[in-house]
Amino acid sequence: MTTHNTRSLISLEKKLSPSPVMNILVPVISVFLALLTGAIFLALTGKDPIQVYSAMFYGAFGSKYGLTESVVKAIPLLLAGLGLAVAFRMQLWNIGGEGQIYMGAFGATWVALQLPNQPTWVVLPAMMLAGAAAGGLWAVIPAIPRAYLGVNEIITTLMLNYVAILWVDYLVYGPWKDPAGYNFPITPSFSESAILPTLGDTRIHAGLLIGIILAIIIYLIIFRTKFGYEIRVIGESPGAARYAGMNISRKIIVVMLISGAVCGLAGMAELSGVTHRLQQGFSPGYGYTAIIVAWLTRLNPLGIIIAALLFGGMQVGGFAVQMNGVPAAVVSMLQGGLLFFVLGGEILTRYRVSINSRRGDDKA
């Protein structure tokens, strides 16, 4: 059999270390290209892209209200993004952030409903603990079969999202439904002591502080501890990790527990800081958006703070464009498109790309 594969026009040569300039440049250019592509799409579907984008931008950052709302929406994205990044570092694909957020909210609500007349310093820590525990344990369910049987965690974590959402649906339509709630699928409001303090007269709550502190702690764990080093080694080369005698199965469970616990905190913070009660569909897919938030920063916990703010703004901007008759779904479209460009651009950080002047035969 003869081979006559033409050599590709573009040739790639692996770089020894990723270029730091590209690490920053690629996300920035990607945002620009995603917006550009989105603009073309908007124009094709008969919308004025400039009008949509300015409504989005003004809605998100153009007023004190918009700005603070963007921060409020960034908080769950920050927490969940941090949680997912821990797992992604080890190539553990926890796609169950959404379900862990819901279970965290369930745990926190359980405490809030159990302890209506206790002081804040008892209730809030108990809610955080219960939220983290519920989210963490929810993530351990798929972690055990992953660790010991090699069962694909992507699908199991994802399936558990649907189960968790239905579980919360059951509670708010059934046993936990507020009798005074005019038949809405909501629980009674939390007592004062179950509510996170807010910044001045804004809705920005202490969840932001929790998120920033956790970002620093997780950064230190990943880059400054033996545990973090081992996670990175397992993520980059599982074979070498096993050869070095690391107990990978146990690490899978611990890392998923941490990942789910931080996502659970996102659910706790959202309820305790914003909605003040458990309600159906309180998360508009924070757990999924957080995947992009985490990936955009190449899983850097400190970078996630900035990416979460950007995406919180997009979320608020999405509400704003609805006023102009544009569906809010345009936001997840832009976010998905953004990730495409980031992924495509990654080749520039990992490879030296050169364009061949002529096509020649390539010996196979």
Which residues make up the interface to other proteins (CB under 8 A)?
1-3, 5, 11-14, 45, 93, 95, 142, 145, 149-152, 154-156, 158-163, 166-167, 169-170, 173-174, 288-289, 291-292, 295, 327-337, 339-340, 343-344, 346-347, 350, 362, 364
Which stretches of 15-108 are assigned E, i.e. beta strand?
none
Give the DSSP letter of residue 181: S
Q: What residues contact 317, with CB distance under 8 A and at least 6 apart? A: 55, 56, 57, 59, 60, 331
Nearest Cα to 136, choosing from 168, 104, 174? 104
257/326 with CB nearer other proteins? 326
In angstroms, give the least distance from the CB of 243 to other proteins.
20
- Residue that the structure tokens 């929406």 belong to: 73
In angstroms, give the least distance from the CB of 47 to other proteins.
10
In angstroms, give the least distance from the CB of 127 to other proteins.
24
Burial 145-170 (b: 16+ CB within 10 A, else e): ebbeeeeebeebbbebbeebbebbee
62/235 with CB nearer other proteins? 235
The packing angle between helices 120-149 and 248-270, to 10°, is: 140
In angstroms, give the least distance from the CB of 98 to other proteins.
11
149/180 with CB nearer other proteins? 149
38/264 with CB nearer other proteins? 38
129/328 with CB nearer other proteins? 328
Separation in Å, CA 232 to CA 203, 211, 236, 241: 37, 22, 6, 10
In angstroms, give the least distance from the CB of 219 to other proteins.
21
266/292 with CB nearer other proteins? 292
In angstroms, give the least distance from the CB of 342 to other proteins.
8
In angstroms, give the least distance from the CB of 45 to other proteins.
8
160/307 with CB nearer other proteins? 160
In angstroms, give the least distance from the CB of 76 to other proteins.
16
In angstroms, give the least distance from the CB of 181 to other proteins.
18
Instruction: Assess contact for 268 and 112: CB atoms under 8 A.
Output: no
Instruction: Assess contact for 205 and 273: CB atoms under 8 A.
Output: yes
196/293 with CB nearer other proteins? 293
Three-state DSSP state, 189 = coil
In angstroms, give the least distance from the CB of 291 to other proteins.
6
142/267 with CB nearer other proteins? 142
Q: Tokens at residue 161, please?
A: 């999202």
Burial label, 3 (beta-carbon count in 10 A; 0-12, 13-18, 19+): exposed
Q: What residues contact 357, with CB distance under 8 A and at least 6 apart? A: none
- Residue that the structure tokens 């146990």 belong to: 250
129/163 with CB nearer other proteins? 163
Separation in Å, CA 278 to CA 63, 105, 110, 125: 29, 7, 10, 18
What does 198-224 look like in DSSP terms, one character per residue? BSTTSS-BTHHHHHHHHHHHHHHHHHH
Instruction: Assess contact for 136 and 258: CB atoms under 8 A.
Output: yes
